[in-house]
Each structure stands twice: as structure tokens, then as C-alpha cells.
């Protein structure tokens, strides 16, 4: 157990608690910001989560916040509260490189729209957090900033692409942050690090960052910005601040609902534990059942339910992102060498369909069935992408119809894993291209989905999967071995524009699991220090 500095208790509070503390004068903004800077200095040498610091500026801004309070000026919702943001989001005076050395001198001229909203709400940015190269894969390492380690186990990744955010929030260096999500990038780090996050409805918080705006061009799978924190109430507050912006090329977002007005006992909840692609680890399946039981005890109507054809959803997602030789990523990496985690897939995505099919046949002969199946989704043209976009519209209709026809009446919420397993060992994303369909199906659909921690892997659940010749199966086997004590979260998805329903369900789950001994947190009194697990 690490010894606590006199102000270390401040780093165990939520953003809303800190805002109230500062507003009452029980602690100054300078004290709060300084406590988080000291926590970052303590943990960051081990986890390398914060890769751009602005400590001096943050302390000056905190002092200005204290002066504002002393004058009796009106205070904004996050007045004096320290936060972190994902490195790719523009903040004047800091680089936005997306983990690419060729962009090391890329300094924006204006703040990202959502970052500016939090600044206007009184937040103080203490640093920016690590990402994978071009935000492409489910780890957070790159040639410019190096590798971020999971604070629960430094031999494992915090996930990606918002992995630096997940790691520093879990470790107590920040109570709140902003990340982005195009394929689970908010939710996988939350699940791997034992925190909460929310991917809003597309396009409520469309990602306006320069790379995302230029590359994805409002396509059928759009990157969105969302909050990460240790408390569901912080997600709800952040959504109030960033969730109502409009754009001339996008439909106006529908009004945000109030999570506190949702009667969870009147909700219909479906749940599933297996996507048919990646067998869930025992603790992952247990967590979903426990969350379902919590909602059932709260009066919700809960039933087991299976979404339609998740194989199809995964295939469409990969085809849309890799069509036309992965031109989106090829343009991004024009001046940088692809990182090892994506080098093979990146190379394959640029091959012709005929070449890919030949390689796929060879993989089948070598009994590499899971890789062969994924390659069936690679090598398509730009014209093919137009067809897949229409097919994706058809899948969205089928999914909505399946929710409407569920036993017991139309579903309001779907519970599932966020990933088939707890946090992966470093480098595993070479074989584990996705964590299954669990997260990416909601990027394809555009539905809001969040993650809330539920439990930790028990010693008897850290069991090895059967040995296999398939390299994907063997990578999954390595994940489970030694995973005892790691956090496990559950994904909560709602219908489009119903973020408040997802948040209300997450709040009920959080309130119950916080009473339990195996609730996964690192920063409460008696919690673990960085890198320590039972």
C-alpha cells in the first residue's frame, strides 16, 4: 500500500464532488489541482498514461478560479476541477499527434469544440493522454510516446484507443476525461481499467478533430467524443455540457433526457453473454448475470436475448473501415511506419481481393480459421463500400426490429460484455484484432452504450482455455492466464438518443456493486496501489 500525501484524499473524489468542495470553499482549486498533479507524478513513471503535461498552466488557471470564487462571481459546473483529455483532441498550446512522430509539431490554432465546452464549464486541463498510432488498435502505444501500462497489472494494456485516459483515471490522476470511440475506444479501456464511460449516440457528439473529420467524412461508422470517469454522475454532468451541440451537415441532436427521471423498475432489459465469435471468460459472463440480477431486483423486466447475426455486424464493420485498401488509414500513415500491432492487417488491407483470397485459403490449410474468417472481410473496393453502407442500413433495421419483438415486449436496454475478456497482455492486439462484436456492433448501429465496472476476476476464474493450433484462440488463452484480480465491466446499451436511460441503469448497477468487496476500484481508502493486485 502506498502512503498517502496530506491531500491524497482529494484524488479519490469524483468530479462532481470536487466541484462542490471547491464551490463551498472546503478546498481551493489550487489544492485540488496540485493534488492531482502530485498523483500523476507518483503513478505516471509506472504507467506512462499522461504524455503531454501542462502543470504550470493548470496551476495558474486554478489560481484564477480561486480568485473568481473570492470575488463572488458565478461558478460554472466544473469550476476548478482538474481533468485530462485524449491526446488527439485539440487544445491550444499542446500537440495533437495521434501518436505519429510525423505530427510531433502539429499544434492546433483552436480548441476542440468539446474541450472548449469543458473549459467554459470551469474545468482545468492538467494533461493529455496516450493513444495507439492513428487510434487504430486496442492498445495505447506508439513510436512517439511509448507504451501505456494498465495500473492493475503493468504487464497488460489499458486498451485503446482512449487507453491513456482509462489508465490515469483509474489510478487517481484525473477524475474525469474526454476520449473518442469508433470501435470501442471509450468502452474497452473503461472495462480493462475498472472505470465508467459512455459512447453517445451517433451523431450527438460527432468527433470534429481534424484527423477524424478529414478521414471519416460523416460515413456510416463515425467517431464520437464521450466522457470517462470513476462515477456515473460525472458522465451525466459531462453529457449535459457536450451533448447538445449541432453541426450544419448533421441532424440536430435530440434533447438530452434526465437520468434521475428514469424509473428503472419500468424498463425492459435484455442480456446476452456470448456474441458467437469470442467465448467470454468466466468472470465476464458472471458479471453480466450479476448486473442482470441487480436490475431484476430493482424491478426491471429482465430476459435473456440474442441480437441478430453478430457475425454479419462484425463483417460489415471491418469491410466499411478497410474498403478501398484501407485508404483512410493509409493517408494517415503516409509518413509513419505502421506499428507491429497493425502492420500485418494494414498490409493485407492494401492487397487485391484475389490476393487476399489466396492468403485466406492458405490460412485455412494451416487451421488458422479465425484469421481466415476476418480476411473474408478485407480487400474490397470503394464501390463495394457503397453496397456495404446500404447493407449496414438493413442491419440497423433488423436490430431495431429484433429489439421490438423481444419476449415480454420491446427492449429499452441491452446488457452484454464490453469485451470477451479482461485486460489483454501487451501485444495481444496483433492476434486479437477486435474484442468480439460486443462493442463494435453499437458503432455500426450508432446506439449509445456505456460501461460500468461490476466485479473482479476470481482466482478460480483465471483458467486457461483449451490449447489450440489457432493463434487467435491461443492469444485468448494467454489473456485468461494470470488474470485473477483484474476488473470486469458490463456494457449497457440503449436505443438511439436514450443516453439518459443507459446512465440510469448504470447508476443502479454502480450503487449496488459498490457495496461489494470485489468492486473494482484503485483509489478508495484501502484500495490497491498501481501495479498491485490480489
Whether 55 and 28 have beta carbons less than 8 Å apart is answered as: no
Ordered by start, the domain boundaries in the chain are: 8-247+261-311+389-513, 312-386
Q: Are 415 and 267 in contact (CB under 8 A)?
A: no
pLDDT tens track, the chain, 534 positions: 343 446 799 999 999 999 999 999 999 999 999 999 999 999 999 999 999 999 999 999 999 999 999 999 999 999 999 999 999 999 999 999 999 999 999 999 999 999 999 999 999 999 999 999 999 999 999 999 999 999 999 999 999 999 999 999 999 999 999 999 999 999 999 999 999 999 999 989 999 877 665 544 446 788 999 999 999 999 999 999 999 988 767 777 899 999 999 999 999 999 999 999 999 999 999 999 999 999 999 999 999 999 999 999 999 999 988 887 677 677 778 789 988 888 887 787 788 888 989 999 999 999 999 989 988 898 888 888 889 999 999 999 999 999 999 998 999 999 999 999 999 999 999 999 899 999 999 999 999 999 999 999 999 999 989 999 999 999 999 999 999 999 999 999 999 999 999 999 999 999 999 999 999 998 764 444 565 564
Residue 401: per-residue pLDDT = 98
Cell of 291: 448486473
3-class secondary structure, 230: coil
Task: Determine the Cα–Cα distance for residues 294 and 505; give it in Å rounded to an integer.
Answer: 10
8-247+261-311+389-513 to CATH, choices 2.60.40.2220, 3.20.20.30, 3.90.1300.10, 3.40.640.10: 3.90.1300.10
- CB neighbour class for 23 (10 Å; exposed up to 12, middle 13-18, buried from 19): middle
Residues with a catalytic annotation lie at 86, 161, 185
Expressed in percent and rounded to 5, the helix, strand and coil fractions of the chain are 45, 15, 45
The pTM of this model reads: 0.96
What the block records as the C-alpha cell of 30 is 489550487
Amino acid at each position: 500500500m502506498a502512503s498517502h500525501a496530506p491531500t491524497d484524499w482529494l484524488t479519490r473524489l469524483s468530479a462532481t464532488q470536487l466541484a462542490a468542495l471547491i464551490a463551498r470553499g472546503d478546498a481551493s482549486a489550487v489544492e485540488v489541482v496540485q493534488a492531482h498533479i502530485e498523483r500523476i507524478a507518483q503513478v505516471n513513471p509506472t504507467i506512462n498514461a499522461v504524455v503531454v503535461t501542462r502543470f504550470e498552466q493548470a496551476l495558474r488557471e486554478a489560481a484564477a478560479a480561486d480568485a473568481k470564487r473570492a470575488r463572488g462571481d458565478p461558478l460554472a459546473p466544473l469550476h476548478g476541477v482538474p481533468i485530462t483529455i485524449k491526446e488527439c483532441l485539440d487544445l491550444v498550446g499542446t500537440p495533437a499527434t495521434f501518436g505519429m512522430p510525423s505530427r510531433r509539431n502539429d499544434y492546433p490554432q483552436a480548441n476542440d469544440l468539446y474541450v472548449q465546452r469543458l473549459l467554459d464549464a470551469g474545468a482545468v486541463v492538467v494533461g493529455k493522454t496516450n493513444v495507439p498510432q492513428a487510434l487504430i488498435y486496442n492498445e495505447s502505444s506508439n513510436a512517439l510516446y511509448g507504451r501505456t501500462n494498465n495500473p492493475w497489472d503493468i504487464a497488460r494494456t489499458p486498451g485503446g484507443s482512449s487507453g491513456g485516459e482509462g489508465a490515469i483515471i483509474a489510478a487517481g490522476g484525473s477524475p474525469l476525461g474526454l476520449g473518442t470511440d469508433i470501435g470501442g475506444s471509450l468502452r474497452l479501456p473503461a472495462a480493462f481499467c475498472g472505470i465508467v464511460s459512455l459512447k453517445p449516440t451517433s451523431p450527438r457528439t460527432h468527433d470534429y478533430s481534424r484527423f477524424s473529420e478529414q478521414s471519416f467524412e460523416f460515413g456510416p461508422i463515425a467517431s464520437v467524443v464521450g466522457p470517462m470517469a470513476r462515477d456515473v454522475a460525472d458522465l451525466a454532468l459531462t453529457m449535459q455540457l457536450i451533448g447538445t451541440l449541432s453541426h450544419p451537415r448533421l441532424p440536430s441532436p435530440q434533447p438530452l433526457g434526465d437520468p434521475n427521471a428514469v424509473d428503472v423498475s419500468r424498463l425492459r432489459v435484455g442480456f446476452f453473454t456470448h456474441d458467437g465469435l469470442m467465448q467470454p471468460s468466466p468472470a465476464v459472463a458472471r458479471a453480466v448475470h450479476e448486473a442482470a440480477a441487480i436490475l431484476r431486483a430493482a424491478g426491471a423486466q429482465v430476459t435473456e436475448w440474442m441480437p441478430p447475426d453478430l457475425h454479419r455486424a462484425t463483417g460489415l464493420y471491418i469491410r466499411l473501415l478497410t474498403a478501398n485498401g484501407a485508404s483512410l488509414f493509409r493517408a494517415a500513415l503516409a509518413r509513419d511506419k505502421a506499428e507491429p500491432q497493425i502492420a500485418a492487417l494494414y498490409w493485407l488491407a492494401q492487397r487485391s481481393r484475389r490476393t487476399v483470397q489466396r492468403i485466406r485459403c492458405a490460412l485455412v490449410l494451416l487451421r488458422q480459421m479465425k484469421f481466415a474468417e476476418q480476411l473474408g472481410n478485407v480487400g474490397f473496393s470503394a464501390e463495394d463500400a457503397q453496397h456495404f453502407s446500404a447493407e449496414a442500413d438493413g442491419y440497423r433495421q433488423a436490430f431495431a426490429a429484433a429489439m421490438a419483438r423481444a419476449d415480454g415486449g420491446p427492449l429499452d436496454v441491452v446488457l452484454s460484455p464490453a469485451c470477451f475478456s479482461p485486460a489483454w497482455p501487451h501485444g495481444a492486439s496483433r492476434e486479437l484484432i477486435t474484442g468480439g462484436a460486443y462493442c463494435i456492433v453499437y458503432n455500426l448501429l450508432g446506439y449509445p452504450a456505456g460501461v460500468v465496472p461490476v466485479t473482479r476476476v476470481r482466482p478460480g476464474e483465471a483458467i486457461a482455455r483449451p490449447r489450440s493450433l489457432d493463434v487467435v484462440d491461443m492469444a485468448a488463452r494467454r489473456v485468461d492466464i494470470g488474470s485473477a484480480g483484474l476488473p470486469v465491466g458490463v456494457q449497457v446499451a440503449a436505443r438511439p438518443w436514450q443516453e439518459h436511460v443507459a446512465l440510469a441503469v448504470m447508476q443502479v448497477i454502480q450503487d449496488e456493486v459498490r457495496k461489494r468487496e470485489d468492486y473494482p476500484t484503485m483509489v478508495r481508502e484501502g484500495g490497491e496501489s498501481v501495479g498491485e493486485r490480489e
